[in-house]
Amino acid sequence: MSIRIAVIGAGLMGADHAKIVAEDIPGATLQVICDMDAARAKSIADACGAKDTDSDPEGVITRADVDAVIVASPDFTHAPLSKACIAAGKRVMCEKPLSQSSAECLEVMEAEQAAGARHVMLGFMRRYDQSYVEMRAALAKGDLGRALMMHNFHRNVETPAADFTGAMAITNSAPHEFDVARHVLGTEYTSITAHQPRRSDDRVAPVVMVLETTDGQLVTIEINNNAAYGYDVRAELVGEDGSIAINNVAYTRTDSRLSSSTRYDADWRGRYHEAYVRQNRAFAAFVQTGHFPAIASDCWDGYCAAVVAETGVTALRSGMKQTVEMIAQPAFYATPKGIGA
Ligand code: ISE
């Protein structure tokens, strides 16, 4: 059956998801683009061939012609709309974060457990990026020996908003690393420290974090939202017998005038396009089969990222190492995830 998908939010990410649903998800129909800004919803709907537009997020979720939902509206709407999807019995792919509040993540987890079935897939798309897939497989295969450290840096060209802060680097950008490092290592975090260097201007300085894991490993994360030179996300996993590093991904190299150069993407949409496509195809399969994808992130992963981010902000503000304190993983989320990638 063709699944009819509504995309809630016609901003940067909503437009990207709408295009992917329209062009790259076999067996899916882009049914509705929903945004409070009717003109913006119509513009994306016209560009992507959506069947309809709407301006009522809660109403769209219950529409009879909508089988599943992608939530790409502002962060503060993610948890309430995910709960509304659960209440309506609709599966949802919610863009990260599930919530910046761990308490609110727990509310969504409680609603999903009460419903007795998985409804929420979370949009930590790095798990579908080929570089992290290969990194995780190399560790699982034993090529590296036991994992000791994972070094990560995540550099944006410039902050997405003028009022961006160091704390927001931890709550908005770093959750990608918080999630993908624990996914690759198969572990949880026990502590975090966070520091910033001083810039010579008034732009937000990088944030450098060191996290300890329950398996005695170290994870280092640099978030630099004002790197200037390009969108550059890399990592290196260091084992007792070897290491594996993520290259900058560039399809071409230009050689001329005694020099050689490759280009960086301007932002994450180009660098992770294939990951978004794989993620959204996995979501469509989840909707059609009910099998939650084996490597997808869920509400528990959203809760873990929120707890570590909240603790990281405390560490940054206090200048002191902070203990990461989480609830025990509910059995509902401990069961092995579905089949396939
Ligand atoms: C943004 O919200 C994202 O999710 C991007 O993937 C990330 O690279 C960027 O730093 C965030 O601001």
pLDDT in tens, 19-75: 999 999 999 999 999 999 999 999 999 999 999 999 999 999 999 999 999 999 999
**Nearest-angstrom CA–CA distance, 231 and 264:** 6
pTM, whole model, 2 decimals? 0.96
Atom of ligand 1 nearest to the CA of 160: 12
| Residue to substitute in 98, 125, 168, 176 for testing ligand 1 pocket (most ligand atoms within 8 angstroms of CB) | 176
pLDDT at 219 over 80: yes
Nearest Cα residue to 326 out of 237, 217, 213: 213
Q: What does the pLDDT look like over 113-144, one tens digit per residue?
A: 999 999 999 999 999 999 999 999 999 999 99
Pocket test for ligand 1, best of 16, 128, 172, 271 (most atoms within 8 A of CB): 172
Distance 175 CA to ligand 1 centre (A): 9
pLDDT above 70 covers a percentage of the chain that reads 98
Single-letter code of the amino acid located at 234: R
**201 vs 320: CA distance, rounded Å:** 25
Four-way CATH pick for 129-267: 3.40.50.2000, 3.30.360.10, 3.10.20.80, 3.30.465.10 = 3.30.360.10
Average pLDDT (74-79) is: 97
Q: What is the mean pLDDT of residues 193-197?
A: 98
Q: 106 φ, ψ to 5°? A: -60, -35
Residue 161 predicted with pLDDT over 90: no
For the chain, percent of residues with pLDDT exceeding 90: 94
Residue of the CA atom closest to atom 3 of ligand 1: 173
Please indicate whether residue 160 or residue 98 has the higher confidence score (pLDDT).
98
Q: Whose CA is nearest to atom 9 of ligand 1?
A: 173
- Which atom of ligand 1 lies at the shortest distance from residue 125's CA? 6
Residues enclosing ligand 1, CB less than 6 A? 156, 160, 172-173, 176, 268
For residue 95, the ligand 1 atom closest to its alpha carbon is: 4
Give the Cα separation of 176 and 142 in Å (integer).
25
Alpha carbons 244 and 12: distance in angstroms, whole number: 32
175 CA closest ligand 1 atom index: 4
CATH of domain 3-126+274-295+328-334: 3.40.50.720
- For the stretch 301-340, pLDDT in tens is 999 999 999 999 999 999 999 999 999 999 999 966 654 4
Atom of ligand 1 nearest to the CA of 223: 10
- 16-29: burial string, b at 16+ Cβ within 10 Å, e else: bbbbbbbebbeebb
Q: Which amino acid is at 239?
A: G
pLDDT tier for residue 255 given thresholds of 50, 70 and 90 = very high
Higher pLDDT, 259 or 161: 259
DSSP type of residue 205: P
Segments of the chain assigned E as strands: 3-8, 28-34, 52-54, 68-71, 91-95, 120-123, 147-155, 189-195, 207-213, 218-224, 232-239, 243-245, 254-256, 259-261, 322-323
The average confidence (pLDDT) of the chain is 96
Domain ranges of the chain: 3-126+274-295+328-334, 129-267
Task: Provide DSSP, 253-264.
Answer: -EEETTEEE---
Give 292's Cβ-side CA count (13 Å radius): 20
Cα of first residue to Cα of last residue in the chain, in angstroms, is 21
